[in-house]
Chains A and B, each alone.
Chain A
């Protein structure tokens, strides 16, 4: 655990590891894993939530420099999701991981659209791009509708203040002409 360096926060390595592919020099296939601390998240529109991924190197040698990237997509057809809106810091350059070591990355995400959303993290080497990326388990996100603003009540205000000022300006103009 002493080799585990956290980005934002440290978390214990989850028990279930998704081992998919190799990444970087020194590591071979099935020796890099990406573990996600949550498989399902329920939140509301506009809320911010956090989840963590741990990238572990199970090989006996140090990996090359690695990059972790967060992807966001809607599971419902026709809903456009712009990942940039969801997280401003989606690409993390995590560097090398020593043999048996791990890095924990904290992802801060802002729920922008309602519905069923999928999040996943892909880890790929900075060198050796012909290899496929290693991805973690998909986080299923359910974003519920939320109304924080009372839009109906604002109409009298947005119409009333300019009208009042208009009346005062008009009245003043009229008074000046009469004088």
Chain B
């Protein structure tokens, strides 16, 4: 029984690894990933240049400039993962390549896992691109290591959450356009609390909203460590919603991916 389970596990690992490798090849050697990475690097360059030169923006402290750059990188890196994931199934369906993909001898769970890995590679690339900027802005104040570790933890949780959400939407969407539109709409809804005036973020309702929203909670945690110099454990409760969101949505993506990927539109055929 154990041997059989091990064989099954190996087969599953091989399956998602094969799908993941193929997806990574398509994404990066096909040029789409590099173009997105290029656009991302231009954005981070502009932000880093502004924070480094324009004191009128009130980014007066190195800590604040590192925090701002890292938060933009986390948000945009997660967005890239979401966009790639939102194209995962509905895009294949629209390009009429889903049928051949479903005929390959890998389970649908493996397909979902491989596509999730490919989507997350965009976040990983975005983060690697961000490191030199963070190093430049944070050098001399012993903040680079903290920024990198915080960025990896918070960014990966948010990227897993958003990429899983994107895959679920993509499985059920009737078309790629619908999938991308719904994903972007949800992303904007998740970002909306960051635009609230500071007075609206106070009080129990405001704090609850910030804590429940994985994006605001994650960025709050990063800010507390980088700007306020808090310890890792001091505000750890703010990581609850990013952890829960990443775990729950990746589980949902696995279940939905294993059971609901269909050739026809709307996961009904």
Contacts and interface: CB of A to CB of B under 8 A. Distances in A.
A169 B35 CA distance: 7
Interface stretch (A9-17, A20-28, A68-76, A144-152): A144-152
B121 to A, nearest CB: 15
A149 B62 contact: yes
B45 A158 contact: yes
Given A162-B41, A165-B34, A166-B38, A157 B133 contact: yes
A161 B37 CA distance: 10
Interface stretch (B52-60, B161-169, B208-216, B260-268): B52-60
Interface string B9-22: 00000000000000
A168 B55 CA distance: 34
Contacts of B5: none
B136 A157 contact: yes
B41 to A, nearest CB: 5
Contact of B31 (A45, A88, A153, A169): A169
A1 interface: no
B220 to A, nearest CB: 16
Interface residues of B, number: 28
Contacts of B100: none
B232 interface: no
A162 B136 CA distance: 16
A151 B52 contact: yes
B31 A176 contact: yes
A112 interface: yes
Contacts of A112: 58, 60
A8 B137 CA distance: 33
Contact of B60 (A46, A151, A166, A168): A46
B198 A154 contact: no
Nearest to A168: B34
A154 B53 contact: yes
B61 interface: yes
Nearest to A88: B198
Interface in B27-44: 29, 31, 34-35, 37-38, 41-42, 44
B247 interface: no
Interface of A: 45-46, 85, 88, 112, 148-151, 153-155, 157-159, 161-162, 165-166, 168-169, 172-173, 176
Given A46-B61, A88-B198, A155-B49, 5 more contacts: A151-B52, A158-B46, A161-B41, A166-B38, A172-B31
